[in-house]
Amino acid sequence: MNRSIALFEEAQNYIPGGVNSPARAFKAVSDTPRFIERADGAYIYDVDGCQYIDYIGSWGPMILGNNNPVVLKAVQEAIVKGLSYGAATEAEVTMAKLVCELVPSMEMVRMVNSGTEATMSALRTARGYTGRSKIIKFEGCYHGHCDSLLVKAGSGLMNSGIPDSAGVPEGCAQDTLTATYNDFESVERLFEENKGQIAALILEPIAANMGVVLPDGDFLRKIREICDVNQTVLIADEVITGFRMGIDGAQGLLGIKPDLSTFGKIIGGGMPVGAYGGKREIMEMVAPCGPVYQAGTLSGNPVAMAAGIAQLTELKNHPEIYDHINGLGAMLCDGLKEIISEAKAGCVVNHIGSIGSLFFTGKPVTDYASAKTSDTAAYGNYFKHMLKGGVYLAPAQFEAMFISNAHSEENIKATLELAARFFGV
């Protein structure tokens, strides 16, 4: 790993912490980030020539596998026509129609450049629509780095132990109310205390940024109900789950109909893309149609649209992809459960479809507080063992493993054998 070490040393002189996003730092596992040179299929390769089975997939978007030939061809055809025009294109219409066709709650959609932009814009739209200011989010859910959402957030904040970011003015965060995931009473209480003031409730329908945490029984149904009663806009943040839990996302799988939804990287097939949309009546508030301003020079970029259309079309035309990735997800997570049970290790596995997390705690993980009981140092040791053996997991406890269509049963078997060695079984 000499090249990675040298690059990291140099990087730290020029880039804060040596990385362009904290989620890819290896700080939480006390290691040096591996600098990646290329990726192909189920694998990524670092600058020192090491090959790893990739369980990150760019944090989700590489659902077809790295370097997918169909996506690649679409990008190659698009780039020679110009990288950006800042003008309307047919591809944007194709993409919007495709998203609305695949996700029934989507009547209109606006493309942006990241998940952060999508959630930030969806909130502004909900506030513009309702004329209210307050929002509810859940402790441990991460919705990007927009000021008002950096309150008790998951992902990088949770991994670094920072509950709320510095630099967020009090005024920005005072309208953000936080509830406990899977605790409906905590939501009821906030609605009760802030009657007629809550513009939106935003949540990950399946949480994946405090590690994977599943919604209990009828938690989402009750959330839908209370939002209806209070005329609050329900925003499902499907940046991780959209087009992954199934073609219609977690909302399709779990049977909830949000008012607005946010999507991200998966729509871009690896290119920088996000999107928000939903009910026509709400989306018609967005400029130039309505008074809520939101814009972006590179939004709907032709290369990104080409990649995204190719990826979504593949997913639409090949539903067997979901059988494959969900089957491997079950194989991996059931295998891990067997290993920890045999080893009598104080660990739990949360899993759904093609995502899952192994928590180093003996307690069931159902929310932020229970996730936080994990032994992050133990996770760090596990991570390092797996990396050394050629398996690239999230470099932090409170993240998910992602499986792509390029993974094989052999990959999963190799991963489980390596994990078994860590647990001494």
* Catalytic residue positions, numbered: 142, 237, 265
- What is the three-class DSSP state of 213? strand
Which amino acid, residue 404? S
Applying CB under 6 A, the span of 122-130, 136-144, 225-233, 338-346 interacting with ligand PMP comes to 136-144
Alpha carbon distances (Å) from 174 to 118, 158, 189, 230: 21, 20, 17, 20
In the bound complex, what is the minimum distance in angstroms from residue 144's beta carbon to ligand PMP?
Answer: 3
Q: Is 59 in the site for ligand PMP (CB under 6 A)?
A: yes
In the bound complex, what is the minimum distance in angstroms from residue 263's beta carbon to ligand PMP?
Answer: 9
| CA–CA separation, 150 and 164 (whole Å) | 6
| CA–CA separation, 258 and 224 (whole Å) | 7
Q: Which is nearer to ligand PMP, 153 or 336 (CB)?
A: 153
Q: Is 144 in the site for ligand PMP (CB under 6 A)?
A: yes
DSSP-derived letter for residue 113 is S
Q: Is 260 in the site for ligand PMP (CB under 6 A)?
A: no
Applying CB under 6 A, the span of 7-15, 139-147, 285-293, 348-356 interacting with ligand PMP comes to 139-147
Q: Is 237 in the site for ligand PMP (CB under 6 A)?
A: yes
In the bound complex, what is the minimum distance in angstroms from residue 354's beta carbon to ligand PMP?
Answer: 15
User: Which residue of 68, 209, 301, 370 would you call a contact of ligand PMP, by CB under 6 A?
Assistant: 209
User: Which residue of 43, 138, 142, 379 would you call a contact of ligand PMP, by CB under 6 A?
Assistant: 142
Q: Is 368 in the site for ligand PMP (CB under 6 A)?
A: no
DSSP-derived letter for residue 161 is T
Applying CB under 6 A, the span of 99-107, 138-146, 297-305, 387-395 interacting with ligand PMP comes to 138-146
Q: Could you count the other beta carbons within 10 Å of the beta carbon of residue 51?
A: 12
Q: Which is nearer to ligand PMP, 168 or 418 (CB)?
A: 168
Given a contact cutoff of 8 angstroms between Cβ atoms, the answer to whether 125 and 202 are in contact is no
- Concatenating the DSSP letter of every residue in 267-319 gives HHBTBS-EEEEE-HHHHTTBTTTSSB----TTTT-HHHHHHHHHHHHHHHH-T
Q: Is 46 in the site for ligand PMP (CB under 6 A)?
A: no
In the bound complex, what is the minimum distance in angstroms from residue 13's beta carbon to ligand PMP?
Answer: 25
In the bound complex, what is the minimum distance in angstroms from residue 274's beta carbon to ligand PMP?
Answer: 6
Q: Which is nearer to ligand PMP, 26 or 142 (CB)?
A: 142
Task: Give the per-residue contact string, 375-404, with ligand PMP (x = CB under 6 A; - = no).
Answer: ------------------------------
Applying CB under 6 A, the span of 65-73, 232-240, 300-308, 329-337 interacting with ligand PMP comes to 232-240
| CA–CA separation, 158 and 18 (whole Å) | 19
Q: Is 204 in the site for ligand PMP (CB under 6 A)?
A: yes
Q: Which is nearer to ligand PMP, 68 or 116 (CB)?
A: 116
Q: Is 52 in the site for ligand PMP (CB under 6 A)?
A: no
Q: Is 138 in the site for ligand PMP (CB under 6 A)?
A: no
Q: Which is nearer to ligand PMP, 115 or 308 (CB)?
A: 115
Q: Is 264 in the site for ligand PMP (CB under 6 A)?
A: yes
Chain position carrying tokens 């087009």: 243
Q: Is 106 in the site for ligand PMP (CB under 6 A)?
A: no
Is residue 85 exposed (0-12), middle (13-18) or buried (19+ Cβ within 10 Å)? exposed
Given a contact cutoff of 8 angstroms between Cβ atoms, the answer to whether 317 and 100 are in contact is no
The tokens for 12 are 């730290």
Give the ranges where 145-283 is alpha helix by DSSP (H).
156-160, 170-173, 184-193, 219-229, 249-254, 265-268, 280-283
Alpha carbon distances (Å) from 402 to 53, 311, 331, 348, 354: 11, 16, 13, 17, 6
Angle made by CA atoms 242, 140, 352, in degrees to the nearest 5: 40
Q: Give the residues lining the site for ligand PMP (CB under 6 A).
A: 59, 114-116, 119, 142-144, 204, 209, 237, 239-240, 264-265, 274
